Structure 1
Amino acid sequence: MASGNETVVYFSEQVVVLCSCALSFLGSSLIILTYVLWADLRTTPRRLLVFLSVSDWLSAVSYAVGVWSVFRSDSLECVVQGAVSTFANTSSFFWTVAIAVYLYVFIVRSSQRVADSLVLIFHLVSWGVPLIITVAAVSLSKIGYDASEVSVGWCWVSIHAPDRVLWMLLTGKIWEFLAYLTLPVLYILIKRHIHMAHTALSEYRPILATRVPSFSSMADTKLTLIPVIFIVLRIWSTVRFILLLADSPVRQHPVLVTLHGIGNTSQGAANCIMFVLFTRPIRTRLCSALCCCSSSRCRAGSKRSQEPSHTLLPDQEASTQRREDDTSKAGSQR
């Protein structure tokens, strides 16, 4: 299966990972396209989602080039592909956490002004830090052919670098570990605050009490799925990295390699499913754009899309959240 430290990437694995790259490319493109087409969707959370999608788009393209080519040496193409994927992948980690931080400040801390003031910092950190790390890695000849030790055909940290484990941490793994810890904590705090706000809403606005579950059901589902999906997709890369540290040949197993390839290249597709296909107003508009409104189901969805959106994620209406925050504060004062 492998020669020395080199992990063989089979043709079947290439096909599966390339399909995953294509789906992520299309998903990221769709998120960006819906933001460009419909001005009323251009809220700050969704704008942050677009920046994340740009990173995922770059990741999908660069990974696809690597998986298609399956580099065998430290060629110029290998270094360029490895640099782009390193920058895009690291940036994706930062933007994923940035969205969680924004929602936490906006919803839990009830401060839209503070949350909006963080956007510039998000840009500086989410683009600047990955760029500095990538430039440093390329300048020091740390990016190159890695024999698919912790990749699936694409280039990353050169296998010839004596300190490759350190650079694997700096160019991705340490940020991945921090995201594992940060995302669940932030989203649990957000869900807890929303639950308390809905409890107060039920108490002070009995006329709306029966509608509270419908307001929060999809948002609660998304808030649960965001960290779960991130961890499920990324964990295979982490497992292979840990197996590398343990010098275990299990990291070369085809099933683990395939899961790693799918996980690293599916973030754009997962975000599209959650924030486009599972978001009713956007799904309905897409249905209409694809000339599906002739069906009764689509017409019914079009009517529902005219109702205010109560999701608490990137397609959230700020006014809805402020009403809930006011109610939550009233409950705490009581």
Structure 2
Amino acid sequence: MANGSQTELYLSERVVVLCTCALSFLGSSLIILTHIIWTDLRTTPRRLLVFLSVTDWLSAVSYAFGVWSVFRTDSTECVAQGAISTFSNTSSFFWTVSIAVYLYVFIVRSSQRVADSLAVFFHLVSWGVPLVITVTAVCLSKIGYDASEVSVGWCWVRIEAPDRVLWMLLTGKIWEFLAYLTLPVLYILIKRHIHRAHAALSEYRPILATRPPSQSFSSMADVKLTLIPIIFIVLRIWSTVRFILLLANSPVRQNPVLVTLHGIGNTSQGAANCVMFVFFTQPIRSRLCTVLCCCCPSCRAEAPHLDDTPQRHQARRDSRGGEEEKDGTGGVIPRPVTSETGPNR
């Protein structure tokens, strides 16, 4: 890597990144507000999602400040912005994996007690590890101006630091790589378990086998389980590609298209989570339509069903003998089928 190199940022790139920062800011804020307003929709997975949204909110604000400021040196503002974005971005990786671990323990291991007990561990790791790494990096003067070589206008690890690669790994990249490996494995295991449970239940509950997927809450949950790791990888892969190109000292890392994709990916997590867990979650979407007094036909069609949504969910679960539970995202997930489950039960 040649010292003194710098990636040129164009106005169009900065505008695009600022727009995605604004969308993530609004999306993360909406997730947090809906959790505060509607207490009856609070579940443990959604509480974990709120903590993830807090980190995405901080990331969006800090990234926007960095792109807007156009830093050129290791100023105090640059170091402060780099420290906040480093902490929030690393914490976001940990909370994303924590949600996957919680769902795996709760669904596959069928132990809500163990899953809930992990909350303290999630807080210690997801807040503590990024905080220790960030404070250490700041104290050792590793955070600062990086010439947009592995960023898009914001400050991160000082490009002139002799051990910059090590600190790039510690302050983000190694956790990003681990998330790439962990998330697909956990969500594949969860999906396999759900499919096996549905197959076993369909042997003596034909209604589960004939129910149209478009009307199934569990099908929506299944779609979300598929999209979560895919969206994470699609958004983050451009940052990883630029990091690898930097290690190879390739000029391709400065390609405007790649830089723009990097900026969009790193700043869009909050917006993506809002789309999946607010707009694609029928109970919350209905309540938003009612609160905002939407005039669109779709909102008017959904609003009348708001009052009986919890009762309908309960009725569905009661009619199936309690074999399904809400997954905390607006869908339902089947409880694991045990050896005691059978036609004569």
1: CA distance, partners of 2:206 / 2:30 = 40
Choose which of 292, 296, 313 in structure 2 pairs with 1:308. Answer: 313
SS in 2 for 1:147: coil
Paired amino acid for 1:314: G
The 1:108–1:168 alpha-carbon spacing in structure 2 relative to 1, beyond 3 Å, is: same
Residues 307-332 of structure 1: per-residue CA shift (max 9 Å, x gap):
31878643258xx64x632468626x
The answer (yes or no) to whether the contact 1:200–1:327 under 8 Å persists in 2 is no
The answer (yes or no) to whether the contact 1:216–1:311 under 8 Å persists in 2 is no
SS in 2 for 1:308: helix
The answer (yes or no) to whether the contact 1:24–1:56 under 8 Å persists in 2 is yes
The 1:303–1:200 alpha-carbon spacing in structure 2 relative to 1, beyond 3 Å, is: farther
The 1:312–1:188 alpha-carbon spacing in structure 2 relative to 1, beyond 3 Å, is: farther
The 1:188–1:312 alpha-carbon spacing in structure 2 relative to 1, beyond 3 Å, is: farther
Q: Which residue of 1 aligns with 2:280?
A: 278
The structural deviation recorded for 1:263 is 0.3
Q: Which residue of 2 aligns with 1:256?
A: 258
The structural deviation recorded for 1:238 is 0.1
Choose which of 268, 272, 275 in structure 2 pairs with 1:266. Answer: 268
Does residue 297 (structure 1) correspond to residue 306 (structure 2)? The answer is no
Q: Which residue of 2 aligns with 1:172?
A: 172
The answer (yes or no) to whether the contact 1:14–1:68 under 8 Å persists in 2 is yes
The 1:267–1:312 alpha-carbon spacing in structure 2 relative to 1, beyond 3 Å, is: farther
TM-score, normalised via structure 1 length: 0.93
SS in 2 for 1:185: helix
Pairs within 5 Å for 1:119-198: 119-198=119-198
Residues 268-316 of structure 1: per-residue CA shift (max 9 Å, x gap):
0000000000001101110111112x66533432354513187864325
The answer (yes or no) to whether the contact 2:217–2:330 under 8 Å persists in 1 is no
The structural deviation recorded for 1:205 is 1.6
The answer (yes or no) to whether the contact 2:42–2:328 under 8 Å persists in 1 is no
Q: Which residue of 1 aligns with 2:52?
A: 52
Paired amino acid for 2:336: D
2: CA distance, partners of 1:166 / 1:178 = 16
The structural deviation recorded for 1:160 is 1.5
Paired amino acid for 2:328: P
Q: Which residue of 2 aligns with 1:88?
A: 88
Q: CA RMSD in A?
A: 2.3
The 1:107–1:248 alpha-carbon spacing in structure 2 relative to 1, beyond 3 Å, is: same
The 1:295–1:166 alpha-carbon spacing in structure 2 relative to 1, beyond 3 Å, is: closer
Shift >6 Å, 4+ stretches = none
Q: Which residue of 1 aligns with 2:318?
A: none
Paired amino acid for 1:88: S
TM-score, normalised via structure 2 length: 0.90
2: CA distance, partners of 1:300 / 1:229 = 30
Does residue 325 (structure 1) correspond to residue 336 (structure 2)? The answer is yes
The structural deviation recorded for 1:164 is 0.2
The structural deviation recorded for 1:220 is 1.4
Q: Which residue of 2 aligns with 1:70?
A: 70
The 1:41–1:193 alpha-carbon spacing in structure 2 relative to 1, beyond 3 Å, is: same
2: CA distance, partners of 1:191 / 1:230 = 17
Residues 21-51 of structure 1: per-residue CA shift (max 9 Å, x gap):
0000000000000000000111000000000
The answer (yes or no) to whether the contact 2:71–2:155 under 8 Å persists in 1 is yes
Residues 195-250 of structure 1: per-residue CA shift (max 9 Å, x gap):
01111221122244322732322111111110000000000000000000000000
2: CA distance, partners of 1:111 / 1:212 = 29
The answer (yes or no) to whether the contact 1:152–1:260 under 8 Å persists in 2 is yes
Q: Which residue of 2 aligns with 1:230?
A: 232
The gaps in structure 1 that reach 5 residues or longer are none
